[in-house]
Amino acid sequence: LIRVTRRYRFPAAHVLSNPAFSDEKNQAIFGKCANPAGHGHNYGVEVSVTGEIDPQTGQVMPVELLDRLVDDLVLQPMSHRFLNDLDAFRGKVPTAEVIARVVYDLLAPEVVARGHARLARVRIVETSRNTAEYGEPT
């Protein structure tokens, strides 16, 4: 099997807080990230697909197809948005790990439905110090 990774970017804002917690508890858990004014990140998204190489194309999955799926399901709906307001994050705290899981769950069935590849991993790069991955172990 071959694993192929493609990188994307999108800017978005979020607040890290749980509405069920007190302000003090949110502050204790999330610190400055709980500030209700929110803050932005230029998120990096790494999407890895795995499968056999198609001998006719030399590819695991057509790059154009993967780009279109990521654009339709992730970049367009999430770019320049307040993530906490999106349906995909309803009832969730949009941390890097939750974003990785949500993006994985959005993409995985669509990748499988369109060919012989499957989604192996989604990695979210939030800051130079903070990344999260969801999917199969490397």
Q: If DSSP codes are grouped into helix, strand and coil, which group holds residue 121? A: strand
Residues that are catalytic: 33, 80, 126
Residue with Cβ nearer Ni ion (39 or 68): 39
Footprint (CB under 5 A) of Ni ion, residues 78-107: none
Of residues 22-51, which lie at the interface with Ni ion (CB under 5 A)?
Answer: 33
Report CA-CA distances (Å) from 107 to 39, 56, 88, 97: 26, 24, 12, 16
Give the tokens for residue 42.
């230029």
Q: How crowded is residue 47: how many other Cβ atoms within 10 Å of its Cβ? A: 24
Residues in binding contact with Ni ion, number by CB under 5 A: 1
**CB of residue 3 vs Ni ion: minimum separation in angstroms?**
28
Binding site for Ni ion (CB under 5 A): 33
